Amino acid sequence: MKKKMAKVLTVVLAISMFAAGCGSSKSEEKMVYSVEAGSAGEAVAKEKGFEYNAVSSQADALMEVASGTSDAAIIDLLMAGAMIGEGTSYPDLIHTDELTKEEYGVGCRKDSDLAAFINAVMASAYEDGTMMEIAEEYGVQEAIIEQKADEYEEQADGDVAYIRDKGTLIVGITDFAPMDYQDDSEEWIGFDADMARLVAEKLGVEAEFVVIDWDTKAMELESKSIDVVWNGMTLTDEVKAAMTCTNAYCNNAQVVVVPAE
């Protein structure tokens, strides 16, 4: 499964996007889009004045299009590479317009020292090749952003000490291939999942993955139900105001998905 996904994603990231309007005869004004609630896809739909249905996940947005409930979906390019087209879960769907360009980051509690710790781990993993090795396993190597050396200073009463004391790093996610998804044995894998495990290892704790409501991710952090949001999270102004975020580590875009003609 990993190899097939890597191949699909590498091709998607290497080729140019389809021309606008491909795959649908409806005008943009009359189309109903499906988007994940609280996502960058919903934000761009609002910005452009699209009529849309908000659903609980990007996977649900794709199901809406496949079933004909919505005319199109707006999802992450990286997910499109893993989930639509020949040899995937939705072979009869294609992506057309690229609506945005954006970057992913990891979200921590406001003023948390964990963000700086993660930055330091990612910089080290980038330098020694570990980060790119993980990226190649999931086919996202073309999207990885260079990580600059970063220093970390632990706070005596900070999140790093709190996490080490309780023995777990609780990672808030959704089912979002190729970043976080389950394999045949229901273990969470993906680029983000593997990087989160690397950070947990450096902390000397276990990584625990918890599926969250993406629309309430900031509240989940502040209530300490989770310790990080690590799930292909776009670094929007709203996100950066609600959380202390890491450096950007991955490029992405929001794309329109429609049925192939």
Each residue of 119-136: pLDDT tens digit?
Answer: 999 999 999 999 999 999
Mean pLDDT value of segment 10-20:
39
- Residue in this structure with the two tokens 């632990």, named with its chain if needed: 154
Mean pLDDT value of segment 9-26:
41
Mean pLDDT value of segment 205-209:
98
Instruction: Find out whether 88 and 82 touch, Cβ atoms under 8 Å.
Output: yes
* pLDDT given for residue 3 in this prediction: 44
Instruction: Find out whether 160 and 30 touch, Cβ atoms under 8 Å.
Output: no
**Token pair of 232 as six digits:** 């292909």
* pLDDT given for residue 28 in this prediction: 54
As beta bridge partners, residue 66 has none
* pLDDT given for residue 22 in this prediction: 41
Band of pLDDT at residue 5, cut at 50, 70 and 90 = low
Q: Both ends of the chain: CA-CA distance in Å?
A: 27
**Count of H-run helices and E-run strands, the chain:** 10, 13
Q: What CA–CA distances, in Å, run from 74 to 62, 127, 157, 161?
A: 9, 34, 41, 39
| Mean pLDDT of all residues belonging to the chain | 90
Instruction: Find out whether 205 and 169 touch, Cβ atoms under 8 Å.
Output: yes
pLDDT over 60 at 20, yes or no: no
Q: What CA–CA distances, in Å, run from 158 to 10, 155, 203, 219, 227?
A: 39, 5, 13, 18, 12
Asked whether the bond before 178 is cis by omega within 30 degrees of 0, the reply is yes
Mean pLDDT value of segment 96-121:
96
pLDDT over 90 at 216, yes or no: yes
Of residues 161 and 19, more confidently modeled: 161
pLDDT over 60 at 111, yes or no: yes
pLDDT tens digits, residue range 155-184? 889 999 999 999 999 999 999 999 999 999
For residues 170 and 239, what is the distance between their CA atoms, to the nearest angstrom?
19
Residue 171 CB neighbours (<10 A): 26
* pLDDT given for residue 128 in this prediction: 97
* pLDDT given for residue 258 in this prediction: 97
Band of pLDDT at residue 15, cut at 50, 70 and 90 = very low
**From 20-24, 48-52, 94-98, 198-202, the region with the lowest mean pLDDT:** 20-24
**Token pair of 161 as six digits:** 């000490």
E strand or H helix at 244: strand 244-245
pLDDT over 90 at 257, yes or no: yes
For residues 180 and 237, what is the distance between their CA atoms, to the nearest angstrom?
23
Q: Considering the entire predicted model, what is its pTM?
A: 0.83
What is the rounded radius of gyration, in angstroms, for the C-alpha atoms of the chain? 18
pLDDT over 70 at 18, yes or no: no
Angle value at C-alpha 73, between 70 and 74, nearest 5 degrees: 150
pLDDT over 80 at 1, yes or no: no
3-state secondary structure of 6: helix
